[in-house]
A and B are shown apart, each in its own frame.
Chain A
Amino acid sequence: MEKEIFENSLNMNRRKFLTRMGMGIGGVALGSLLIPDLFSGNPEDILQTGLPHFAPKAKRIIYLFQNGAPSQLELFDYKPMLQQMHGQELPASIRMGQRLTGMTANQQNFPLAGSVFQFNQYGKAGAWISELLPYTSKIADDICIIKTIFTEAINHDPALTFFQTGAQVGNRPSMGSWLSYGLGSENKNLPAFCVLLSKGKGNGQGVYSKLWSNGFLDSIHQGVQFSSGENPVLYLNNPEGMDKKERRDMLDKLAELNEGVYREFGDPEIKTRIQQYEMAYRMQTAVPDVTDLSKEPEDIIKLYGPDCLTPGTYAANCLLARKLSENGVRFVQLYHQGWDSHGNLPKEIQGQCLDVDQASAALITDLKQRGLLDETLVIWGGEFGRTNYCQGKLTTENYGRDHHPRCFSIWMAGGGVKPGVYGETDEFGYNIQKDPVHVHDLHATVLHLMGLNHEQLTYKHLGRRYRLTDVSGNVIDGLMA
């Protein structure tokens, strides 16, 4: 009997089925009223417009990357305690088992090394800035020194890749590519993302083109490297004997052929290629204008320093960065190599500062006097900091410092940034005491200043939506005016 009852309950006639299904679908329909986006197509559509999500504070970015990791303890993070305890052992309570690089992990002891350079306070916020940066100290009121940025990587390549792409492994789009993707180019005659390289005399670390790669984004968002020398963009000029008209005809014909191939295969990279040819064509007239430094007045040369007309120097790159930026290049990425002072730090860092101090400060002053600093965000800093203990032999005048990811200093200026000093480190300059800023937080804040919500700037790749900030990052209100 039980079996029959059970079977009966399993039977379903049409009426029962329709009633239940009707109720079920009705319930789902009712529920769907509360989820407006459920059936309304894909959210990536928003990005097609190339508009900021909300009113931006900054329109452009110039990132002055100090590759190799400048020592925060020599530049911005003044620690008299280290001078007092010069030569004494780093207390274990401070280090707390922090992993070290292979270069000092086997060191017998970790003697603290105080900076040999003098510090003074500058600006309304009383920011401590070392004597190595006399020009930067003059713009103290325009910059926000973040003393508590920290990262996850302890070696150059992963750390640099992390700063540039939001991930330690490669193959992700660079920050400039994300901005190019999110906001597009302002000036149609120039790429949205340009890269400039220079090299100091200090111990250097490599800079590779993967750092300005478009990753999985469309290759139109790739960074364009400008080289020093007569042709800043290689192979841009027409070869001898080819005039503008001929070039145009050739490109038209080529585009026609490419269109044909596109119709056949539908590979979006073909479209990109056509666009890039067109961009290169327009760049042929725009680039010589922008890269011509010869018409800069004497005031500008004195401002940036005499090196600013010598191609390939950091100063020249800063001047070029300003010119590119004022011509609507969304993201100008500079790299200056030579900050990796594992040994002989006091001497090496002097040379590096001589290279970058005047021109970095000049860039801020120059943007300001043109009324462009309000809409341009300038970032200065390396991929991590340097240890408070000495690597190698410690003397009163000479020492080296190893990599230190737990806290280091960078500065930002312009575009909605609140000038002053942000964050505090402990008296050993080893750990963060107040207001930490993770690299993801910095990225989120930078995107926010550019009018982009870092959680909405996504790209779907391999079945997952990627962001510059991966799955974390908070906008830091304290950094913004």
Chain B
Amino acid sequence: MQRWKNIIFNLTVALNCMLLFLFLFESHLSIPPWLQVAGRMHPLVLHFPIVLLVGYAVMVLLVPARQTGAGDFQRVAGWLLLLTAFLSVVTAIMGLFLSREPGYDPDTLQWHQWGGILISIYTLLWYVFHHRINTRKPFTAFTAIIAFFIIVITGHLGAGITHGDNFLWAPVTPEKKQRVVSPEDAIVFADMVYPILETKCMTCHNSKKAKGELVMETRELLLKGGKNGKLWDSTEADLGLLLRRIHTPLEQKKHMPPKGKTQLTAEEMEVISAWIRRGADFDLKIASLPADDSLRLLAVKMLREAEIAEYDFEEPDAALVESLNTENRVVSLEALGSPALTVSFFNSRLFQSSQLTELEKVKKQIVTLDLAKMPLREEDIEVISHFENLRRLNLSFTGIRGTNLPALGRLKFLRTISLSGTGVTTPALEALKEIQGLITVYAWQVAASPDEIKAFSSRIPGIRFETGYNGDTTILKLNPPVFLNEEKFFTKVFPLQLKHYIQGTSIRYTTDGSEPDSLLSKTFGKKDSIHEEVLVRARAFKPGWISSDPVEMYFYKTTYTPDTVIYRQPADSSFPDENSQSLIDRIEGGTNYKSGSWVAFRKNRMECVLHFAEPVPASSVTLSSMVDIGKYIMPAEKIEIWGGEDPQQLRMLSRVKPEQPGQYMPFYLKAFTCHFKTTKLSYLKIIVLPVQRLPNWHKGKGEKGWFFIDEVLVN
């Protein structure tokens, strides 16, 4: 046992010597990979000496003296201390190996190394003298306390290296209050560049350390540069020293920040170079850059507003806010936990100026105010100017002329104002210059013309004016007029109803099938009416617009209405005519084949008899039908009209084979008329054969087609 003790003791002494040696020639060390593995075990092994030392301290300090006299006790305690010393030096050497790997903050590392070496030697000496120290308890206690402090400090530094600075205290350290700026208010240098320099450069380039004689803390010192000269030169291709150092490869000595320190991110590099490229102007504002400027886009990304924008005013009284809500005024917190209020007004008829004055009670908290379309008076602007924290103001379509706009100069946080649709003139807009932080003005359809605003805005570079859409030079094609006549079947004269929804259009129409034009065709008037079967074609005309395409509608006259309909073959069960009225009810089927007014045939042919109680002298029969090729709804293949006064002796009056379409076409309505010599009719039999084989170009080729019918008209 004693032999082992000697071996370990000797080994410990040897290792301590080696440690000192390695430390002395640290910069020349080259660690083979397998030793790196040993080095990386440093964070594991370091726990053992600590625990052993604690064990030893507990034994010698807390165990009552009468029990410590025994030889076994002394032996065990001695072993503990020896192992502590041994493992301390092993840990320290491993740590030294690990420290050769890149990426550690050199300052902290140095102190940690010193601490490690100190512990190693200290524990060794303790072991050597432990018999003497143990003669008196205060000696032991004193030695232990010193060891405790060295270990705590070294351990804390080590934790700082692996977990980051201030790892231990971060949860209880109040966060440094960062100035929250919105991209619109941000100054490039102060809000973007300086914070980068502060965190990434100033740990060394500060007035205390001033490495390379460079201090970055103030503008003047930045401009002065260090011993290697000025920091930037926007005329050089690489923009000067600062960026050259940043872009130098990491391995080279000149690279900044040095190896081991936290490096700049790609974005941060871009911010600095973009700022220098634009002339390194300390006062450059984000808002003055074009909306697509790369620096501006970066700014928006980096300065993304905190989720709850920071406001330095107190939260309003909840009951007060509640009481301010009325039928047409909505006052609400911007978000949970935010002190800011958003106020909107609706329903202009209920608006009174007093509703605005009532808001004075929360004048500090209002950040958004929407008064669009409210009948404001110029004096009301004065009231608004009391809302000192206002950010967004919507005054569009309020009818103000802007004589009182200068009052808004007090609103130093106002960023956006909408004046669209108001009578604001150019002189009134002039007052907006006084609003320091103003960024966007919406001025569409105001008294000042877009050109005036354009000329004017070029004089105020900080403010963006949105003048919106102006249709003066746009020439568009009118849409066609619409027929309001719902019924296309008529028995007696009825008014033609045409409408165009755009005011000031004139509708012209023809009844002879020709294209309506703006000169010769009849202008539609309210008194126009239809008295005969006719095709009406109509177009809309308006100055400043291209005339519309024509629309057309066929009006069918129906002189005689049969009294009953008898089907000889039932209609298809999906589209039946349940009470045998559908064909004579004068209700149009419309464009929807499922409307219920359509009767359809596919398997069966249509064969029905129409009966007139009183015989009628008829000369034509019209079948109102639809065609929707994609849905297999085709024109009839064959139509036969039979008629007479005796149901047993009907004569064929007409037989038609309607033309079939030759290709796919969109849906259309189609009427088939069969003319014949005027005949006295009591009975009329109609036979329609649906298409028996769909043509080859159709997706359902060879299948049967559908025949759809909504009305039968007899004249």
Chain A positions within 8 Å of B, measured between CB atoms, are 46, 49-56, 124, 141, 186-189, 201, 282, 285-286, 289, 294, 297-299, 301-303, 305-307, 309-311, 326-328, 344, 362, 365-366, 368-372, 374, 451, 481
Contacts and interface: CB of A to CB of B under 8 A. Distances in A.
A369 B347 contact: no
B27 interface: no
A443 B11 CA distance: 67
A189 B307 CA distance: 30
Nearest to A348: B666
A355 B586 CA distance: 33
Nearest to A203: B630
Contacts, number: 126
B468 A369 contact: yes
B309 A371 contact: no
Interface string B301-330: 000010111000000000000000001101
Contact of A328 (B344, B416, B418, B442): B344
Interface of B: 291-292, 300, 305, 307-309, 327-328, 330, 332-336, 338, 340, 344, 346-347, 349, 372, 394, 396, 416-418, 420-421, 440, 442, 444-445, 466-472, 474, 476-479, 482, 501-503, 545, 548, 664, 666
A259 B396 CA distance: 42
Contact of A55 (B334, B416, B444, B472): B334
Contacts of A282: 327
B300 A481 contact: yes
B394 A201 contact: no
Contact of A302 (B308, B309, B471): B471
25 contacts: A51-B336, A53-B335, A54-B307, A54-B336, A54-B338, A56-B334, A186-B344, A188-B327, A188-B330, A188-B346, A189-B328, A294-B503, A299-B445, A299-B472, A305-B476, A306-B477, A306-B479, A306-B548, A310-B501, A311-B501, A328-B330, A328-B344, A369-B469, A371-B420, A372-B394
Q: Give the top 5 A-B pairs by smallest Cβ distance, nearest first.
A: A369-B468, A371-B418, A302-B471, A309-B501, A371-B442
B466 A369 contact: yes
Contact of B335 (A56, A299, A362): A56
B538 to A, nearest CB: 15
B346 A369 contact: no
Contact of A369 (B332, B420, B477): B420
Contact of B332 (A51, A53, A286, A368): A51
Given A54-B336, A371-B442, A451-B335, A299 B471 contact: yes
A422 to B, nearest CB: 14
A52 B445 contact: no
Nearest to A56: B335
A84 B191 CA distance: 50
Contacts of A481: 300
Contacts of A285: 347, 349
A310 B291 CA distance: 37
Contact of A297 (B307, B338, B445): B445
Nearest to B397: A370
A302 B420 contact: no
B468 A52 contact: no
Given A201-B666, A366-B469, A374 B416 contact: yes
A51 B469 contact: no
Given A189-B346, A306-B476, A326-B372, A370 B396 contact: yes
Nearest to B503: A294
Contacts of B307: 54-55
Nearest to A188: B327
B539 to A, nearest CB: 13
Contacts of A201: 666
Nearest to B306: A55
A344 B479 CA distance: 25
A26 B394 CA distance: 58
Contact of A189 (B327, B444, B477): B327
Contacts of A371: 394, 396, 416-418, 420, 440, 442, 466
Contact of B478 (A50, A52, A306): A306
Contact of B479 (A50, A286, A310): A310
Nearest to A358: B476
A55 B335 CA distance: 5
Contacts of B327: 188-189, 282
Contact of B346 (A327, A344, A368): A327
Contacts of B340: 55
A144 B292 CA distance: 14
Contacts of A53: 335-336
Contacts of B328: 188-189
Contacts of B468: 365-366, 368-370
A141 B440 CA distance: 17
B471 A303 contact: yes
Contacts of A54: 307-308, 335-336, 338
B502 A309 contact: yes
Nearest to A307: B479
B442 A187 contact: no
A187 B346 contact: yes
Given A51-B333, A54-B335, A326-B372, A189 B471 contact: no
A54 B417 CA distance: 23
B347 A286 contact: yes
Contacts of B372: 326, 370
Given A365-B469, A370-B420, A302 B476 contact: yes
A426 B27 CA distance: 51
Contacts of A366: 468-469
Given A189-B328, A305-B476, A305-B479, 6 more contacts: A56-B335, A188-B346, A302-B474, A306-B502, A326-B372, A371-B466
A435 to B, nearest CB: 16
B308 A55 contact: yes
A55 B338 contact: yes
Nearest to A369: B468
A163 B652 CA distance: 60
A307 B501 CA distance: 8
A364 B482 CA distance: 28
Contacts of A310: 479, 482, 501
Given A201-B666, A299-B471, A370 B442 contact: yes
Q: Most chain-B Cβ atoms within 10 A of its Cβ — which of A53, A365, A370?
A: A370
A189 B396 CA distance: 21
A56 B469 CA distance: 28
A124 B416 CA distance: 24
Contacts of B308: 54-55
A51 B335 CA distance: 6
A344 B666 CA distance: 11
Contacts of A297: 445
Contacts of A298: 471
A8 B564 CA distance: 103
B664 to A, nearest CB: 7
Contacts of A327: 346
Contacts of A286: 346-347
Contact of B305 (A55, A289, A294, A328): A55
A371 to B, nearest CB: 3
Contacts of A365: 468-469
A327 B397 CA distance: 13
Contact of A368 (B466, B471, B502, B545): B466
Contacts of B469: 299, 303, 362, 365-366, 369
B702 to A, nearest CB: 17
B316 to A, nearest CB: 13
A328 B327 CA distance: 13
Contacts of A344: 664
A388 B470 CA distance: 40
B664 A328 contact: no
B17 to A, nearest CB: 50
A396 B666 CA distance: 21
B447 to A, nearest CB: 15
Contacts of A299: 445, 469-472
Contact of A187 (B330, B336, B479, B501): B330
